[in-house]
Amino acid sequence: MGTTRRRFLQQMSWLTAATAARGAHIMQPASKPPQLLDTRALAHFVDQLQIPTIAKSAGMRPNPSNPDSQVLYHRIAMRQFQAKVHRDMQPTALWGYNASCPGPTIEARSGQPLLIEWANELPREHFLPIDHTLHGAEGDKPQVRTVVHLHGGRTGPESDGYPEDWFVPGQSAICYYPNQQEATSLFYHDHAMGITRLNAVAGLMGLYLIRDEFEDSLNLPKADYEIPVVLFDRSFRPDGQIYYPVSGKPESPWVSEYYGSAILVNGKIFPYHEVEPRRYRLRLLNSSNGSFYRLSFSPEATVSSEALPFHQIGSEQGFLPAPAETSLLILGPGERADLIVDFSSRAGKEIFLRTDVTVVMQFRIGANKTADPSSLPSTLRPVPRIPESTAVRTRELTLADYQNRLGRSSVMLLNGAHWDMPVTEKPVLNSTEIWSFLNLTDDSHPIHLHMVRFQLLDRRPFDLSVYQLTGKIVFTGPAESLSANELGWKDTVRVDPMTVTRIIVKFEGFTGRYVWHCHMLEHEDNEMMRPYVITPE
């Protein structure tokens, strides 16, 4: 582990799952930071958890795919606003969908399309440091550019949020979401080329929930007993404004990773939420730029071995085959988890959501027993495994960090290719492929494929030195066992250092141009993103 990175993690007093388990990436050294707010010293549990509003329809519009029918229409505007992220802090300038962070939760029904107009009503100058040496963020580009990606959505390419399809303040884009998917939790966020990381830190993200009749039949906790939990980390200056580090080189301020000193839940630092002693459904999203979380529910505000067990019932693309009981959840950037937590055994007490040594929020459990008509099903939605024999092609794709002579990251590439090189991944519609990710770095990378869902096959360690010398994969051990909560449908997968991680994908839905990329947003913005094309034949 590099000295700079170790010191940073010690100062922040919390570890990401990737660095705790595998060792850390050497962070691009930042210039000497200004005085920062010590968020650890803030009073705990003085702010109530904020629940994002539910987006309201603005009426009906003609269906682009069938002009004889109508679809629900939303207009959601991106605006700058001020918000108090903690009682004892000055208001923070943020960007948000409908002037909130997270943005409003969009609820959709499977098979019922939505038409959303995304309006850019932001200022024309960015308040975070743009690196004009990055591809797509050159000095001739407007400072403020946005394009919305529905992460996990099965949409046509014209509505997917292609990074180069950005639009500026005063403009808007209309996207058509067919919602031809099973019940699941997606999220929407900015995806503008070269500045995704900055627009995300500014606050542009929100949940998008798809529901269906199968979910309705499960008798899960709902309404006030279903809680969105959106996690992201930020650092702040003493005046309450967001601090984003820079490299110390004015002409190229990009840094390779961003980890904030405070973890916010639904936009609040150390919030509390009052619950009844019964089951709750938590819809978790890790919307951080780079942090992995090791989440547990503890009866103590300090580290405790008596973590409260809970059940995961869904991953990024829908329900698991059956509830998976666990006391620890690893959640990488872009990943979601659908949990059932039963507070009935802790009536009158408190439970703390934490990641390793850091407390994230507090649940205050009422003392009086209440009726709980919900249930935890023994089985959920079947997830038939895709046979490897159905794959028509296996692709070996490398993840590499190219460093300068000082060992500092300069560019990060997928399969050795820059963004604007010719497309090399061209799967055929309705074909199945195996993609093998060879991680040549000392980071864990969350890899996301747009438009499709996939299944994780396995992870297996390999000899990095042999590969670098010969190009041959020599495994150094057996495939690691997958946890029960990794056996569902996914759209983002954790690729650990010096492992080959295999996924199997059926390219269903639409033909056209999409992207795949690392969801550590600093990596994505510096070339760790590639287009791919689904072809008709």
Clarify whether residues 405 and 526 are in a common domain.
yes
Clarify whether residues 523 and 397 are in a common domain.
yes
Please give the Cα distance from 183 to 422 (Å, whole number): 36
Clarify whether residues 298 and 344 are in a common domain.
yes
Site of tokens 């569902």: 488
Structure tokens at 451: 């438009």
Structure tokens at 78: 């991106």
Q: Which residues contact 422 (CB under 8 A, 6 or more apart)?
A: none
Instruction: Name the CA radius of gyration of the chain, rounded.
Output: 22
If you ran DSSP here, which 8-state letter would residue 396 be given?
A: E
Site of tokens 């580090």: 245
Write out pLDDT tens, residues 434-457. Answer: 999 999 999 999 999 999 999 999
List, in sequence order, every beta strand (DSSP E) within 371-498: 393-403, 409-414, 432-439, 445-449, 454-461, 492-495
Per-residue model confidence (pLDDT) at position 305: 63
Q: Which of 195, 216, 237 is the last residue of a domain?
A: 216
Clarify whether residues 71 and 156 are in a common domain.
yes
Per-residue model confidence (pLDDT) at position 11: 30
Write out pLDDT tens, residues 286-317. Answer: 999 999 999 999 998 766 668 899 999 999 99
Confirm whether 383 is domain-assigned: no
If you ran DSSP here, which 8-state letter would residue 54 be given?
A: B
Clarify whether residues 61 and 27 are in a common domain.
no
Confirm whether 156 is domain-assigned: yes
Structure tokens at 271: 């919030």
Among positive and negative, which fits the CA dihedral 212, 215, 217, 222? negative
Please give the Cα distance from 466 to 400 (Å, whole number): 15
Clarify whether residues 323 and 411 are in a common domain.
no
Coil, strand or helix: which one is 88? coil
Write out pLDDT tens, residues 193-205. Answer: 999 999 999 999 9
Per-residue model confidence (pLDDT) at position 408: 65
Per-residue model confidence (pLDDT) at position 527: 96
For residue 496, give its domain range: 388-534
Per-residue model confidence (pLDDT) at position 409: 66
Does 328 have pLDDT greater than 50?
A: yes
Contact 118, 146 (CB under 8 A): yes
Lowest mean pLDDT segment, chosen from 210-219, 268-277, 305-314, 334-343: 305-314
Confirm whether 373 is domain-assigned: no
Please give the Cα distance from 500 to 506 (Å, whole number): 20
Does 20 have pLDDT greater than 80?
A: no
Distances in whole angstroms, Cα of residue 526 to Cα of each of 243, 368, 385, 415, 455: 20, 53, 35, 14, 27
Per-residue model confidence (pLDDT) at position 3: 31
Confirm whether 370 is domain-assigned: no
Confirm whether 23 is domain-assigned: yes
pLDDT band at 411 (very low <50, low <70, confident <90, very high): confident
Q: Which of 190, 216, 242 is the last residue of a domain?
A: 216
Number of domains present in the structure of the chain:
3
Structure tokens at 348: 């009158």
Query: For residue 323, is the peptide bond before it cis, meaning its omega torsion is within 30 degrees of 0?
Result: no
Please give the Cα distance from 111 to 17 (Å, whole number): 37
pLDDT band at 21 (very low <50, low <70, confident <90, very high): very low
Clarify whether residues 153 and 244 are in a common domain.
no
Contact 269, 262 (CB under 8 A): yes
Clarify whether residues 284 and 238 are in a common domain.
yes
Per-residue model confidence (pLDDT) at position 10: 31
Lowest mean pLDDT segment, chosen from 92-96, 251-255, 298-302, 439-443: 298-302
Clarify whether residues 31 and 101 are in a common domain.
no
Structure tokens at 269: 């630092």
Helical ranges in 229-287 per DSSP H: none
Q: Which residues contact 16 (CB under 8 A, 6 or more apart)?
A: 259, 290, 291, 292, 293, 294
Does 281 have pLDDT greater than 70?
A: yes
Confirm whether 380 is domain-assigned: no
Phi/psi at 397 (5° precision): -125, 125
Query: What percent of the chain stands above pLDDT 70?
Result: 92
Per-residue model confidence (pLDDT) at position 34: 75
Highest mean pLDDT among 6-20, 296-310, 467-481: 467-481
Lowest mean pLDDT segment, chosen from 63-67, 190-194, 340-344, 498-502: 63-67
When pLDDT is averaged across residues 243-252 and rounded to a whole number, the result is 93
Find the CATH number of the domain harbouring 392. Answer: 2.60.40.420
Please give the Cα distance from 333 to 355 (Å, whole number): 14
Is residue 218 left, alpha or beta, with left meaning phi > 0 and alpha meaning psi from -120 to 50? alpha
Confirm whether 485 is domain-assigned: yes
Per-residue model confidence (pLDDT) at position 340: 98
Query: What percent of the chain stands above pLDDT 90?
Result: 87
Q: Can you list the pairs that 413-422 forms with residues at least 24 positions away whose Cβ atoms lie under 8 Å? A: 413/527, 413/528, 414/516, 414/517, 414/518, 414/528, 414/529, 414/530, 415/530, 417/530, 418/135, 418/527, 419/135, 419/136, 419/527, 419/529, 419/530, 419/531, 420/135
Clarify whether residues 18 and 72 are in a common domain.
no
Q: Which residues contact 208 (CB under 8 A, 6 or more apart)?
A: 105, 106, 108, 150, 153, 185, 186, 187, 188
Q: Which residues contact 421 (CB under 8 A, 6 or more apart)?
A: none
Clarify whether residues 296 and 254 are in a common domain.
yes
Structure tokens at 449: 């494929």
When pLDDT is averaged across residues 508-537 and rounded to a whole number, the result is 97
Q: Which of 350, 365, 380 is the last residue of a domain?
A: 365
Please give the Cα distance from 219 to 226 (Å, whole number): 12
Per-residue model confidence (pLDDT) at position 1: 36
Clarify whether residues 63 and 142 are in a common domain.
yes
317 vs 32 pLDDT, higher one: 317
Does 431 have pLDDT greater than 70?
A: yes
Structure tokens at 165: 């399809």
Per-residue model confidence (pLDDT) at position 248: 87
Confirm whether 490 is domain-assigned: yes
State the pTM of this model.
0.93
